């Protein structure tokens, strides 16, 4: 089993370039199912989740070519014949369920495995299904799959399979917002999504779809409207930079940087993350050309109270990574996790490295310690794994991070980028 071995204590210095956003690339790849002809995506990160989504698309019948050396992915979905996303792939990567909206929109039917729970929470898809139902899709759940089909009354006379609807999300779920936007693109009439998620990656998806010919307004607000089109045409599109990778390198810079310049880092896309860091005393600067610079802080950093929330709130994906920083700031910090109910599984691993993190329901009480010490630890999920790597960078001695398949799902060249900044980290298999 591959693992990262990190010798702590090195200072980071220099520049690092952020890769394309995982959570945008995966959705745009799914959306390309609806686009006639070729979609050419640039700045696609070479990560395991992208390879899994490419596998899903190929299995459906799309032609997929990944020039991974240049991060360019070409997709032609003209010959898709299958409407099924199988359990083996959905289990491997939950975002596979994002093919449901596009397949339903284009063909009026889809069979997709129900993902089930994962290491950070139960992660239901009820909001996705409720949206599809309001657009006229009937659903049957059988043998672990949900089978959705546009009701014949709608589809009979029209090329368009679903009908527009007003959908009020009970929670601004990203996945539900994305799946419903995509389902609405080739539907009959207007769909309005109220209480929609506002993450910049959703804007990226909507911008790609608009470039393909979709009629979407309200992008970036909590009320998004989509007027159904007759067809979409593939286009060339560049994936936005990854804001969670940006946040990860920001915290690495704060933990052990002399001066770290993070390129392709968009401050606004991070919501309140960067302002929050400023508040606790981090020396962070936003340069106009999408570069964020971290320099050594002048005084001692202050503990913090943080609540995770949908964008522009504090991102849940950066919660484990932030905990590593708070674990070495003198005083008591509290993090409240509001998005996923089970996102503190890494705490015990971090405590094995000498941190003092106590979990009480969906709160983490973090008492700052003087130092962390290297230990063998295991990634419990993608961001938790990255957090443990960062802990290893500042820990005394050697840290061995196991189960790194979680990390490889979402970070392109993570160890190489850290090594280029001066970290002592190697991957062994």
The nearest distance, CB 249 to ligand UD1, in angstroms, is 17
Is the four-CA dihedral 411, 315, 422, 4 of positive or negative sign?
Answer: negative
Per-residue contact string for residues 61-100; x = within reach of ligand UD1 by CB under 6 A: ----------------------------------x-----
Report d(CA 243, CA 200) in Å as an integer: 9
The nearest distance, CB 372 to ligand UD1, in angstroms, is 25
* Residue 363: count of CB within 10 angstroms of its CB: 13
Applying the rule CB under 6 A, the residues between 26 and 45 that interact with ligand UD1 are 26
Q: Which is nearer to ligand UD1, 8 or 271 (CB)?
A: 271
Tell me, by CB under 6 A, how many residues bind ligand UD1: 21
Report d(CA 407, CA 156) in Å as an integer: 46
CB under 8 Å to 362, separation ≥6 — which residues?
A: 336, 337, 338, 341
Report d(CA 376, CA 401) in Å as an integer: 6
Angle at 57 between CA 64 and CA 39, to 5 degrees: 50
**3-state SS class at 326:** helix
Q: Which is nearer to ligand UD1, 8 or 175 (CB)?
A: 175
CB under 8 Å to 126, separation ≥6 — which residues?
A: none
Applying the rule CB under 6 A, the residues between 114 and 153 that interact with ligand UD1 are 121-128
The nearest distance, CB 401 to ligand UD1, in angstroms, is 20
Position among 111, 161, 174, 417 found at the interface with ligand UD1 (CB under 6 A): 174
Position among 52, 77, 173, 207 found at the interface with ligand UD1 (CB under 6 A): 173
The nearest distance, CB 345 to ligand UD1, in angstroms, is 14
C-alpha to C-alpha distances, 83 to 41, 58, 110, 145, nearest whole angstrom: 23, 12, 5, 12
Per-residue contact string for residues 337-356; x = within reach of ligand UD1 by CB under 6 A: --xx----------------
The nearest distance, CB 273 to ligand UD1, in angstroms, is 12
Position among 168, 171, 363, 365 found at the interface with ligand UD1 (CB under 6 A): 171
Report d(CA 61, CA 139) in Å as an integer: 23
State yes or no: is 118 an active-site residue: yes
The answer to the question of residue 317 lying near ligand UD1 (CB under 6 A) is yes
Q: Which residue of the chain is nearest ligand UD1 when measured via CB?
A: 175
- Work out the end-to-end distance of the chain between its first and last CA atoms, rounded to an integer number of angstroms: 6
Which residues are at the interface with ligand UD1 (CB under 6 A)? 23, 26, 95, 121-128, 171, 173-176, 197, 316-317, 339-340
């Amino acid at each position: 089993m591959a693992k990262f071995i990190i010798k702590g204590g090195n200072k980071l210095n220099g520049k690092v370039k952020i890769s394309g956003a995982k959570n945008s690339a995966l959705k745009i790849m799914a959306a390309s199912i609806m686009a006639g002809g070729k979609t050419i995506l640039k700045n696609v990160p070479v990560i395991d989740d992208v390879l899994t989504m490419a596998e899903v698309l190929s299995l459906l019948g799309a032609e997929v070519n990944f020039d991974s050396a240049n991060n360019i992915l070409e997709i032609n979905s003209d010959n898709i014949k299958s409407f099924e996303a199988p359990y083996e792939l959905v289990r491997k990567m939950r975002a596979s369920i994002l093919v449901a909206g596009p397949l339903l929109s284009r063909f009026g039917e889809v069979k997709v495995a129900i993902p089930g729970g994962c290491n950070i929470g139960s992660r239901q898809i009820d909001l996705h299904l409720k949206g599809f139902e309001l657009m006229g899709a009937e659903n049957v759940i059988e043998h672990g799959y949900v089978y959705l089909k546009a009701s014949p009354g709608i589809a009979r006379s029209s090329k368009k399979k679903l009908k527009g609807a007003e959908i009020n999300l009970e929670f601004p779920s990203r996945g539900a917002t994305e799946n419903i936007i995509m389902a609405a693109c080739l539907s009959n009439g207007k769909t309005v999504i109220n209480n929609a998620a506002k993450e910049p990656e959703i804007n990226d998806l909507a911008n790609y779809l608009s470039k393909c010919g979709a009629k979407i307004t309200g992008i970036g607000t909590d009320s998004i409207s989509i007027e159904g089109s007759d067809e979409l045409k593939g286009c060339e599109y560049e994936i936005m930079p990854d804001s969670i990778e940006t946040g990860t390198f920001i915290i690495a810079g704060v933990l052990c940087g002399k001066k770290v310049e993070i390129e392709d880092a968009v401050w606004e896309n991070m919501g309140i993350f960067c302002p929050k860091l400023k508040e606790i005393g981090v020396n962070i600067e936003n340069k106009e050309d999408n570069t964020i610079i971290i320099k050594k802080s002048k005084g001692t950093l202050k503990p913090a109270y943080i609540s995770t929330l949908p964008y522009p709130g504090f991102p849940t994906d950066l919660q484990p990574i932030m905990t590593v920083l708070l674990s070495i700031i003198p005083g008591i910090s509290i993090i409240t996790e509001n998005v996923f109910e089970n996102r503190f599984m890494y705490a015990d691993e971090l405590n094995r490295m000498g941190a003092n993190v106590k979990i009480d329901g969906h709160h983490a009480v973090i008492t700052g310690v003087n130092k962390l010490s290297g230990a063998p630890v295991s990634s419990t999920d993608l961001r938790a794994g990255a957090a443990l790597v960062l802990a290893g960078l500042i820990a005394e001695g050697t840290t061995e991070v196991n189960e790194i398949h979680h990390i490889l799902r979402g970070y392109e060249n993570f160890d190489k980028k850290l090594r280029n900044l001066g970290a002592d980290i190697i991957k062994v298999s």
